[in-house]
Each structure stands twice: as structure tokens, then as C-alpha cells.
């Protein structure tokens, strides 16, 4: 058992799987000697060599496309994209190729790659570094979209993503890369994908979130508990495919739901959860589903990002609203 | 110093220079313009490739006819570019990997993809991409140039495993305006990959002529900017394409890294069956280019050397017609897929989240 931050857990999972499986190749920009801009790959090239931990030319489309080719040959490439703002030139490769290679060839060729990228705001980063556009990927058939929110989950979920036979977009909330330390057992044990994680059980309201926002969501739940409100907190973890049943079951119990995410509201992933609740859980609801999200604005530069990100107070206010409804 | 030049600002020194070779062996009459390479000593192989080119052309014409009569979807014809495809198919080894674009039937046929599979694909059925032949080859690629980085990844896997295998990727002149080409060329040199880039320069990217794609004198020289060798061949001269492609593949297999072969040819057909090339180019230009027809040229060569005659030609035409008819029949007789099978290869195992949608589809159209 070692105490680790989330980014250290990512590093440990990468190291574990590089060691366990010769087919695993880590590639990206500045991930070798430099150890990655967030140091997620620190020490890996030194330990596993330049063939396994590969600095690429500065070309994101290339990196994603190369990973598709490697994966089709049975390798397990793990791509690091430095920031979410640089991920968009990979979308052609992810949407047109990685996510559909198995389907196009009826299983003759497959694409077991992982595309890792830090995402979200809150670290006073430069322009184009702080967006949360996970919903874009959650819209793509054939893909998995996985977002950890703690060191232990980052470790186990990344291992699962690497071992998954299909492509996974693995988004790391960089705001909490070093926020907390947690005991992680570096034993190569993966955590299940395609399932929500209940972080806290409660009877009065269901709070659904993922990634960095879970930090504020859990703080809100703690504050509410002091006032006698018993909130259930669900970490969605795998946005695609969504384990909607866990959310429906929770709402069947609580009758109230608040979804929290950093991404812009319109067509954010919270809209999908609200729609699923409306389709399959309407009669269990005592109040409309509330969304506490980023605004439908361009992600502001860092002077205003604190105003953009969902706050503990906003979450508590939304919970009050659904509790007092009707 | 050699190459120093005095100008108004002082002396500048030449730090790089390049030239681009162009190779042709046969003229339009099929006569050698220079001593032929060693592969011409094996007329059987050339005859067999000529046969493959005629079969490809027969298939191509049939595919267009099927599209016109509603039995096939939009199809990208290959008329006039058969030599490039034949050379690619002939020179690669079975264990090599082809990463093609969408105008590629000739090479795919030689690699072992069947005509029925090709018809299934162009007839709107994914089963046509699950071909029995070259299991590692990529299927056709429609988004221009997006397949080129896959070839680098495949080549990287070969290199990583120390296998003496080579990846060949084919694309058109239009693709070379795209970032994927430049990014991959750059990386292929940095990583010294066993990768051969084949540019099928057929002069037209749908309606935009090659000279409006780039001001480069040759497309081949784009490799030079990436730090490796590029060269031109007469893409209508089977012997020239085979010879130079063969050298490039051998070099890649021996660890010599990438090469770009620009095969200069001409798209005698429309871009696809949904295109009308008369909107943007003159019939006179097309007519002018018919004299360079690669199939006619290699036939003339074979006839000139008494490796081929009218009798054989007639028999070949008959054989090709029969083979194509047989493949078409097999295609038309292929039972349709169950609609819900569109869920079957989405993931290795269909996630629970989508089981309900699959059921929905199973019952779609049922009266309630």
C-alpha cells in the first residue's frame, strides 16, 4: 500500500502494465525524458526504454492515427494528449477510425487503444487548457469514455482501460491530479468499467457527477449532512456506455436528483442523464432534475474561471431547491 | 567554397539540395526506352499481371454497370490506373500490410480480397471488409489521407517486433495537401519506418487538378522535405512501377526506412459513379490521355515480344467475363444481414447499455 496522488496513480498503472505486457506502448509529446507535462509518465522511459515509451513529433492527428495502426496489429498503445484543447485534431482518427475499426471489419481488425488527456479547469492554465468537452466523445458509438476521480480509481480504471479490447478515451481531471493522496495497492488489479460507483449512500437526494466536480459535490454532501440532508453521491466514471441503472435505482430511492459537471450545460452529458431519468424514472421523481454546470459560454481565461466552475454553494442551493420543490 | 553565392546581403551558402528521378521503361507502343530491368526476364509474371489488370478492368466496368442499374452503391472506378494497383499487389509479400485508400480494387484483388467481397463493400455491406484473404490489410479508407498515419502505426508495430515486414500505403494526389500526409511522412523518417508511400497521382482530386493542389514541381519531392527519398515513375508503365516499388520495399525491409513513389498516371474515369467529370475537364484532355493507357501499353509489350496474341486475348476476355459474372452472382445471392447485426461488432461484447436498443431494432417494423 502506497500513498499516491491521482497523477502518481496514473504513473503506477502505466508502469505496471508496461511491465506486465510487452504489447503496451506509451506514446505522446514530451512523455519520454521529460516525463510528460504533468509528469504522468515520469521515469517510464528510463525504466522501459525508448521503444516502449516513445516521444513523438508534435502532431496530434499523427499520434492518434499511429495508435490506430499499432492497435490493429495487436499492440496496446496508450496515447497521451497534453491538454484537452489539443485533442480535437485526434477526433477524425477517433471517430472515423478507432471507434469503428472493429465494426467496419466485423472484428477482423480491432483497436484496443487508450487516449489519455488531462481535462477541466481550475489550475489557472493558459487559454485552451481548461475545457471539459467529454460529451463530444460520449456521443461517438464504439468508444468508451472513462473519467476517474480519485487516485485508487485512476489506478484501477486505467488498468481496465488498457486491457479493454476496444478504444477508451481516458480523461484525467487535472484539477485533482495532486489534490489528495490516497492509499493505493499497486497490485495490477483493475476496477470494472461500464459501471457507476456509489461514493456515499443517502436517502434524500442523488448527486451525480464525475471527474473534478466530484470534489465540490462531495464537499456539498458533507455540508448538507451537517444540516441533516442525507445525499447519495454517484461517480458516473464511465460516461459511455452509461450505467443508467445505478442512477435510476438511486433516484427510485431518493426521488430527487442533481447532476453536477464542469462542461457547458447545453448538450453536456448531464442532459443525457436528465433525459434518461425523464424516460425511465419520471414517476419516481418528486422534483425536476437540476443541473449545476459550467455556463454556455466559452471557458473564460483564468481570472474568471472560478466563477465558471460549479461551486459547493451552487450545489447546495440546487439540492435545497429540489428538496423544497412542490 | 562550393555553392557559396554572393548577393546584396553578403555570402550565402547552399545547405541542402535535391533532385527527383523519373523512371520509365516502356513507351506508348510498349517498346523499351532503355534496357529493361531484371524482372522483364520473367515474362510469366508480367503475363500474369497483365491478366490481373484485364480482370480488374472487366470488374471495374461491371461494377459501374451494376451501379447504373441499381445493384451497387456509389463506386470509385479505377480506369487508367491499373498498373499502379497491379504493381502494388505484385510486389508486396503476403505478410506485408496494405493500407489503401478507396480507389484500390486492383491491388486488393491481387492481395487476395475477392471480387464478391469488394462488391459487398461497395454494395453497402460491412461483411465486404471482413475479407478472408489478407487478414492484416486495412479496408478501403474514404476520409482522404486519414489512413496514412495508420500505415505508420502498422510499420511501427513491425519494427517494434523486429519482423521483416513492410507496410505500403496508397493515396491520391489530393491527399498530399493534407496534414496527415505531412505528419506521417515526417514521423516515418524520424522513426525510420519500414513504410512505402505510394502516391497515385491521377491528376485530379475530384474536380481540382493537380496543379491547383500544389506548386511543387513533383509530388515526390514532398518526401525530401520530410527527410527521405521520393521519386517519380511513369504510373502507366507496369515495369517501371514494379521496379521502383520493388526497390523501395526491399529497402524498407532491409531497415533502410521509408520511400515515396509518385506514380504519374491519369484518371480516365469519373471520380465516382456519383461524379460527372465533364463538368470540370474537357473530353479532349481525356482523349489525349487514353494513348497512355497502362493496359494497352503492357499488352503491346507482350505482343511485341510474342508473349501474347489475339487468341490468348480472346480467351482471357472470356475468362474474365465469366469470373466477374460468377462473383456478381455470388454477391447478388448473398443473404442479407439481420438488421440487429449492426450491434454485433460495435464492441467485443455489447455493453448492457445498448441491449435495449438492439431489442428495439429487432422489433422495429412489427405492428403493435
Q: By the CB < 8 Å criterion, does B180 face chain A? A: yes
Give residue-wise pLDDT tens across range A281-302. 999 999 999 999 999 999 999 9
Q: By the CB < 8 Å criterion, does A73 face chain B? A: yes
Q: Report CB contact under 8 Å: A72, B153.
A: yes
**pLDDT given at position B4:** 74
Q: Do B343 and B333 share a structural domain?
A: no
**Residues of A acting as catalytic residues:** 129
Q: Do B172 and B92 share a structural domain?
A: yes
Q: By the CB < 8 Å criterion, does A167 face chain B? A: no
Mutate to test the interface with B, among A26, A32, A62 (most CBs of B within 10 A): A62
Q: Which residue of B has its CA nearest to A109?
A: B136
Where residue B257 sits, what CATH number does that domain have? 3.40.50.970
Residue pair A184/A152 in contact by the 8 Å Cβ criterion: yes
Neighbouring residues of A242: CB distance < 8 A, sequence distance ≥ 6: A138, A236, A272, A273, A276, B353
In this model, does residue A177 exceed pLDDT 70?
A: yes
Measure the CA–CA gap between B241 and A217, rounded to whole angstroms: 64
> What is the three-class DSSP state of B209?
strand
Is B8 within a domain?
Answer: no
Q: By the CB < 8 Å criterion, does B143 face chain A? A: yes
Q: Which domain holds residue B80?
A: 19-337
Is B5 within a domain?
Answer: no
Q: Report CB contact under 8 Å: B149, A61.
A: yes
Q: Report CB contact under 8 Å: B187, A62.
A: yes
Which CATH code, of 2.60.40.1220, 3.40.250.10, 3.40.50.970, 3.40.1350.10, is assigned to A2-184?
3.40.50.970
Tell me the chain B residues in contact with residue A239 when contact means C-beta distances shorter than 8 Å: none
Mutate to test the interface with B, among A48, A54, A66, A165 (most CBs of B within 10 A): A66
Q: Which of B126, B344, B351 sits opposite A104 (nearest CB)?
A: B126
Residue B320's alpha-carbon distances to A215, A259, A265, B47, in angstroms, are 69, 64, 60, 14
Identify the H or E element spanning B171.
strand B167-172
Q: Just give the CATH number of A197-324.
A: 3.40.50.920
Mean pLDDT of A230-259: 98
Q: By the CB < 8 Å criterion, does A67 face chain B? A: yes
Q: Do B351 and B283 share a structural domain?
A: no
Q: How far is B150 from chain A (nearest CA, A)?
A: 4
Q: Report CB contact under 8 Å: B149, A93.
A: yes
Residue pair A27/A63 in contact by the 8 Å Cβ criterion: yes
Q: Report CB contact under 8 Å: A106, B126.
A: yes
Is B10 within a domain?
Answer: no
Residue pair B84/B263 in contact by the 8 Å Cβ criterion: yes
Round to the nearest angstrom and report the end-to-end CA distance of chain A. 49
Residues 187-226 of chain B whose Cβ lies under 8 A from any Cβ of chain A: 187, 190
Phi (first) and psi of residue B56, to 5 degrees: -60, -45
**pLDDT given at position A1:** 83
Residues 10-39 of chain A whose Cβ lies under 8 A from any Cβ of chain B: 25
CA angle, B267 then B226 then B164, to 5°: 85
Residue pair B113/B134 in contact by the 8 Å Cβ criterion: yes
Q: By the CB < 8 Å criterion, does A321 face chain B? A: no
Residue pair B238/B46 in contact by the 8 Å Cβ criterion: yes
**pLDDT given at position B58:** 98
Q: By the CB < 8 Å criterion, does A104 face chain B? A: yes
> Radius of gyration of chain B from Cα atoms?
23
Q: Which of A61, A67, A103 sits opposite B126 (nearest CB)?
A: A103
Q: Do B344 and B332 share a structural domain?
A: no
Q: Report CB contact under 8 Å: A141, B130.
A: no
Measure the CA–CA gap between A62 and A27, rounded to whole angstroms: 11
Q: Which of B127, B130, B153 sits opposite A69 (nearest CB)?
A: B153
Is B322 within a domain?
Answer: yes
Q: pLDDT-derived band of residue A216, with 50, 70 and 90 as boundaries?
A: very high
Catalytic, out of B56, B271, B299, B300: B271
Cell of A66: 499511429
Measure the CA–CA gap between A207 and A226, rounded to whole angstroms: 16
Q: By the CB < 8 Å criterion, does A64 face chain B? A: yes
Tell me the chain A residues in contact with residue B160 when contact means C-beta distances shorter than 8 Å: 25, 51, 75
**pLDDT given at position B10:** 85
Is B14 within a domain?
Answer: no
Is B121 within a domain?
Answer: yes
Q: How high is the mean pLDDT of chain A? A: 97
Q: Do B357 and B308 share a structural domain?
A: no
Q: Do B367 and B302 share a structural domain?
A: no
Q: Which of A61, A108, A109 sits opposite B183 (nearest CB)?
A: A61
Q: Do B266 and B147 share a structural domain?
A: yes
Domain boundaries, given as residue ranges, for chain A: 2-184, 197-324
Whether B345 is a known active-site residue: answer no
Q: Do B359 and B267 share a structural domain?
A: no
In this model, does residue A26 exceed pLDDT 70?
A: yes
pLDDT (tens, 9 = 90+) of chain B, 368 residues, equals 556 777 777 888 999 999 999 999 999 999 999 999 999 999 999 999 999 999 999 999 999 999 999 999 999 999 999 999 999 999 999 999 999 999 989 999 999 999 999 999 999 999 999 999 999 999 999 999 999 999 999 999 999 999 999 999 999 999 999 999 999 999 999 999 999 999 999 999 999 999 999 999 999 999 999 999 999 999 999 999 999 999 999 999 999 999 999 999 999 999 999 999 999 999 999 999 999 999 999 999 999 999 999 999 999 999 999 999 999 999 999 999 999 999 999 999 999 999 999 999 999 977 65
- B250 class by beta-carbon count within 10 Å (0-12 exposed, 13-18 middle, 19+ buried): middle
Phi (first) and psi of residue A260, to 5 degrees: -120, 125
- Tell me the helices (H) and strands (E) count for chain A, helix number first: 12, 14
Tell me: ipTM over 0.90.
Answer: yes
**pLDDT given at position B241:** 98
Count of the separate structural domains present in chain B: 2
> What is the three-class DSSP state of A287?
coil
Q: Do B364 and B320 share a structural domain?
A: no
Q: Do B65 and B208 share a structural domain?
A: yes
Is B111 within a domain?
Answer: yes
Q: Do B329 and B344 share a structural domain?
A: no
Is B221 within a domain?
Answer: yes
Tell me the chain B residues in contact with residue A108 when contact means C-beta distances shorter than 8 Å: 129-131, 135
Q: Report CB contact under 8 Å: B345, A102.
A: yes
Q: Report CB contact under 8 Å: B129, A70.
A: no
Q: Which of B139, B154, B184 sits opposite A105 (nearest CB)?
A: B139
Q: By the CB < 8 Å criterion, does A49 face chain B? A: no
Q: Do B278 and B232 share a structural domain?
A: yes
Q: Which of A65, A109, A165 sits opposite B146 (nearest CB)?
A: A65
**pLDDT given at position B368:** 54
Cell of B245: 516499388
Q: How far is B211 from chain A (nearest CA, A)?
A: 26
**pLDDT given at position A119:** 96
Amino acid at each position: 500500500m502506497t500513498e499516491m496522488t491521482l497523477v502518481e496513480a496514473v504513473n503506477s498503472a502505466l508502469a505496471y502494465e508496461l511491465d506486465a505486457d510487452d504489447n503496451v506502448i506509451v506514446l505522446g509529446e514530451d512523455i519520454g525524458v521529460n516525463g510528460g507535462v504533468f509528469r504522468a509518465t515520469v521515469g517510464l522511459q528510463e525504466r522501459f526504454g525508448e521503444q516502449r515509451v516513445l516521444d513523438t513529433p508534435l502532431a496530434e492527428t499523427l499520434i492518434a492515427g499511429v495508435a490506430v495502426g499499432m492497435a490493429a496489429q495487436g499492440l496496446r498503445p496508450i496515447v497521451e494528449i497534453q491538454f484537452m484543447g489539443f485533442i480535437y485534431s485526434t477526433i477524425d482518427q477517433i471517430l472515423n477510425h478507432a471507434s469503428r475499426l472493429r465494426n467496419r471489419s466485423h472484428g477482423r481488425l480491432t483497436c484496443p487503444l487508450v487516449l489519455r488527456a488531462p481535462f477541466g479547469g481550475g489550475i489557472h492554465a493558459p487559454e485552451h487548457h481548461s475545457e471539459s468537452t467529454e460529451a463530444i466523445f460520449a456521443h461517438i458509438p464504439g468508444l468508451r469514455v472513462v473519467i476517474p476521480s480519485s487516485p485508487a480509481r485512476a489506478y484501477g480504471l486505467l488498468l481496465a482501460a488498457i486491457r479493454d479490447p476496444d478504444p477508451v478515451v481516458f480523461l484525467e481531471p487535472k484539477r485533482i491530479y495532486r489534490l489528495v493522496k490516497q492509499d493505493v495497492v499497486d497490485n495490477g488489479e483493475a476496477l470494472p468499467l461500464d459501471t457507476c460507483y456509489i461514493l456515499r449512500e443517502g436517502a434524500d437526494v442523488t448527486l451525480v457527477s464525475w471527474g473534478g466536480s466530484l470534489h465540490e459535490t462531495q464537499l456539498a454532501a458533507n455540508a448538507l449532512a451537517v444540516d441533516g440532508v442525507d445525499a447519495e453521491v454517484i461517480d458516473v466514471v464511465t460516461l459511455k456506455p452509461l450505467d443508467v441503472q445505478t442512477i435510476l435505482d438511486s433516484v427510485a430511492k431518493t426521488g430527487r436528483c442533481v447532476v453536477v459537471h464542469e462542461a457547458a450545460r447545453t448538450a453536456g452529458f448531464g442532459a443525457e442523464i436528465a433525459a434518461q431519468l425523464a424516460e425511465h424514472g419520471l414517476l419516481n421523481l418528486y422534483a425536476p432534475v437540476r443541473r449545476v454546470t459550467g455556463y454556455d459560454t466559452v471557458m473564460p481565461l483564468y481570472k474568471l474561471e472560478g466563477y465558471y466552475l460549479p461551486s459547493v454553494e451552487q450545489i447546495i442551493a440546487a439540492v435545497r431547491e429540489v428538496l423544497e420543490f412542490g | 567554397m562550393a555553392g557559396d553565392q554572393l548577393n546584396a546581403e553578403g555570402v550565402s551558402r547552399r545547405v541542402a539540395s535535391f533532385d527527383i528521378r523519373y523512371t520509365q521503361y516502356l513507351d506508348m507502343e510498349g517498346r523499351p526506352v532503355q534496357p529493361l530491368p531484371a524482372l522483364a526476364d520473367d515474362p510469366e509474371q508480367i503475363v500474369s499481371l497483365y491478366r490481373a489488370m484485364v480482370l480488374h478492368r472487366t470488374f471495374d466496368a461491371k461494377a459501374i454497370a451494376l451501379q447504373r442499374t441499381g445493384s451497387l452503391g456509389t463506386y470509385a472506378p479505377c480506369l487508367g490506373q491499373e498498373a499502379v494497383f497491379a504493381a502494388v499487389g505484385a510486389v508486396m509479400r503476403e505478410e506485408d500490410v496494405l493500407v489503401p485508400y478507396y480507389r484500390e480494387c486492383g491491388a486488393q484483388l491481387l492481395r487476395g480480397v475477392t471480387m464478391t467481397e469488394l462488391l459487398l463493400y461497395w454494395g453497402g455491406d460491412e461483411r465486404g471488409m471482413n475479407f478472408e484473404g489478407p487478414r492484416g490489410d486495412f479496408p478501403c479508407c474514404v476520409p482522404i489521407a486519414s489512413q496514412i498515419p495508420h500505415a505508420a502505426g502498422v510499420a511501427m508495430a513491425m519494427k517494434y517486433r523486429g519482423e521483416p515486414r513492410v507496410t505500403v500505403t496508397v493515396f491520391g494526389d489530393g491527399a498530399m495537401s493534407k496534414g496527415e500526409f505531412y505528419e506521417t511522412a515526417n514521423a516515418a523518417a524520424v522513426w525510420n519506418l519500414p513504410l512505402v508511400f505510394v502516391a497515385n497521382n491521377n491528376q485530379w482530386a475530384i474536380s481540382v487538378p493537380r496543379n491547383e493542389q500544389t506548386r511543387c514541381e513533383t509530388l515526390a519531392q514532398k518526401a525530401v522535405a520530410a527527410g527521405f527519398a521520393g521519386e517519380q515513375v511513369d504510373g502507366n508503365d507496369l515495369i517501371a512501377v514494379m521496379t521502383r516499388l520493388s526497390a523501395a520495399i526491399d529497402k524498407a525491409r532491409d531497415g533502410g526506412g521509408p520511400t515515396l513513389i509518385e506514380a504519374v498516371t491519369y484518371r480516365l474515369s469519373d471520380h465516382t459513379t456519383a461524379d460527372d467529370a465533364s463538368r470540370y475537364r474537357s473530353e479532349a484532355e481525356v482523349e489525349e490521355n487514353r494513348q497512355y493507357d497502362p493496359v494497352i501499353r503492357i499488352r503491346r509489350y507482350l505482343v511485341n515480344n510474342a508473349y501474347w496474341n489475339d487468341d490468348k486475348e480472346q480467351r482471357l476476355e472470356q475468362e474474365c467475363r465469366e469470373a466477374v459474372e460468377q462473383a456478381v452472382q455470388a454477391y447478388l445471392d448473398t443473404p442479407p444481414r439481420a438488421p440487429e447485426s449492426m450491434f454485433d461488432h460495435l464492441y467485443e461484447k455489447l455493453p448492457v447499455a445498448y441491449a435495449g436498443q438492439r431489442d428495439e431494432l429487432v422489433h422495429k417494423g412489427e405492428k403493435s
